[in-house]
Amino acid sequence: MHTSMQTPAMAFPQRTRFDWLSTLARSRESSLAVVLILTVLATALANPRFISAQNLRDMALNVSIIALLTTGLTTVMLMRHIDLSISSVVGLSAFLVGDLYTHFSDTPMPVAIATGLAIGLLAGAVNGWLVTWGQVPSLVATLSTLYVFRGIDYAWVQGRQINATALPSEMTALGSGDVWGFPIMAWIAVALLIAMSFYLQNFKAGREFYAIGSNPEGARLVGIPVKRREFIGFLICGTTAGLAGVLWLARFGTVNASSANGIELQVVAAAVVGSVSIAGGAGTVLGATLGALLLSVISSALVILRVSSFWQLAIQGGLILLAIALDALLSRAIVARTSKKRTRHE
């Protein structure tokens, strides 16, 4: 009787530690939300203007495009790939849609948005073909198309610039208007976040993204169309970037050949900080969006606190390293605990 009472007590701490690690790995969104709230509160205590209505609105506008791009990139990263060409796609889409208005000022808004989506879809198809059927590593393929698409942009632009005066009022309203006191661009980002989260979590095709990232060869053996899913992932990422280009035009009004240059680094940083694993198979769109929001809040907080731009970049880089290190430590700890648990049962 004494032995039977001691056995559960001895096993209980081990099970608790394993459950704690598993829970932490599954609830990184909650951890990000806590860090986000603490950052906002700490900055507000240092400078109350940080939580003014205008500043909160500006942050929502600033994070909307990054959040859109992070949502699209997540679908690719889940399958152990990357898309570095998104900034060039944004710039190309923004200028071509703006150029459309300079030649056809009465272009309906749906046509302009569809044009941006089509540009992104075509770019995504090029990347998807190179990676899936061309067997080019995604890092190499999309780094190449980053420059190819930007080169096309420069060739088309030829030193020109699109100004806000060439845009219709409904386009500029898309970038600065509100609905129920919340920016329209932020509503679009939220809608895409909800739709993509629902797709990845509740559809068989969406869950296969995770299966491919976790074990590509195993996914093939169980009959998952790996190449098709990877191609679709790049289509989603490219189309999202095309939409982000339209919103970039609506938000800033003035675009040229260098618009959105370098934004891909912010997007990758947001995804990594938001717990999307660079090894694939783990992460959520919600976590990636929270990562984008956290980086945006930190950036705004550093500006409010008058911290130099150098330290802003340094802190962003530190957050990326911390997120990668945490992901690696948690993954190793969970694998080790799982292995020990299996050994005890065998």
Residue 255 gets the label, from left (phi > 0), alpha (psi -120 to 50) or beta, of beta
| pTM reported for the whole predicted model | 0.84
Model confidence at 17, pLDDT cuts 50, 70, 90, reads very low
What pLDDT score does 327 carry?
A: 65
Range of the domain at 154: 59-265+276-290
Total domain count for the chain?
Answer: 1
Per residue in 158-190, pLDDT (tens digit) is: 888 888 888 888 888 888 888 887 889 999 999
Q: What is the mean pLDDT of the chain?
A: 83
Give the tokens for residue 60: 């929502």
What pLDDT score does 195 carry?
A: 93
What pLDDT score does 335 carry?
A: 60
DSSP state at residue 179: E
Long-range contacts of 129-138, Cβ-Cβ distance < 8 Å, separation of 24 or more:
129/231, 131/81, 131/230, 131/231, 131/234, 132/227, 132/228, 132/230, 132/231, 132/234, 133/227, 138/76, 138/81, 138/82, 138/83
What pLDDT score does 196 carry?
A: 93
3-state secondary structure of 183: strand
DSSP state at residue 164: G
Whether 96 is covered by a domain: the verdict is: yes
What pLDDT score does 269 carry?
A: 86
> In terms of DSSP bridges, do strands 182-183 and 178-179 run parallel, antiparallel, or are they unpaired?
antiparallel
Per residue in 215-253, pLDDT (tens digit) is: 888 888 888 898 999 999 999 999 999 999 999 999 998
Lowest mean pLDDT among 93-97, 244-248, 297-301, 305-309: 305-309
Task: Taking residues 267-288, report their average pLDDT.
Answer: 84
Would you say 331 and 283 are in contact if contact means Cβ atoms under 8 Å apart? no
Whether 333 is covered by a domain: the verdict is: no
Q: Where are the strands (E) in the chain, listed by range? A: 178-179, 182-183
Q: Which of 201 and 234 is assigned the larger pLDDT? A: 234
Question: Highest mean pLDDT: which of 2-6, 229-233, 254-258?
Answer: 229-233
Model confidence at 36, pLDDT cuts 50, 70, 90, reads confident
DSSP state at residue 162: B
Model confidence at 10, pLDDT cuts 50, 70, 90, reads very low
Lowest mean pLDDT among 97-111, 284-298, 320-334: 320-334
195-221: string of b/e by CB count within 10 Å (b at 16+)?
Answer: ebbebbeeeeebebbbbbbbebeebee
Whether 114 is covered by a domain: the verdict is: yes
Does the pLDDT value for residue 341 go beyond 70? no
DSSP 6-25: HHHHHHHHHHHHHHHHHHHH
Whether 161 is covered by a domain: the verdict is: yes
Whether 32 is covered by a domain: the verdict is: no
Whether 313 is covered by a domain: the verdict is: no
Q: How many CA atoms lie within 13 A of 9 on its CB side?
A: 5
Lowest mean pLDDT among 32-41, 83-92, 203-212: 32-41
Model confidence at 345, pLDDT cuts 50, 70, 90, reads low
Model confidence at 337, pLDDT cuts 50, 70, 90, reads low
Which alpha helices (H) appear in 47-108, and where do they start and end?
Answer: 53-77, 86-103
Task: Taking residues 57-78, report their average pLDDT.
Answer: 90
Whether 235 is covered by a domain: the verdict is: yes
Which alpha helices (H) appear in 179-215, and where do they start and end?
Answer: 184-202, 204-214
What pLDDT score does 320 carry?
A: 72
Whether 37 is covered by a domain: the verdict is: no
What pLDDT score does 8 carry?
A: 43
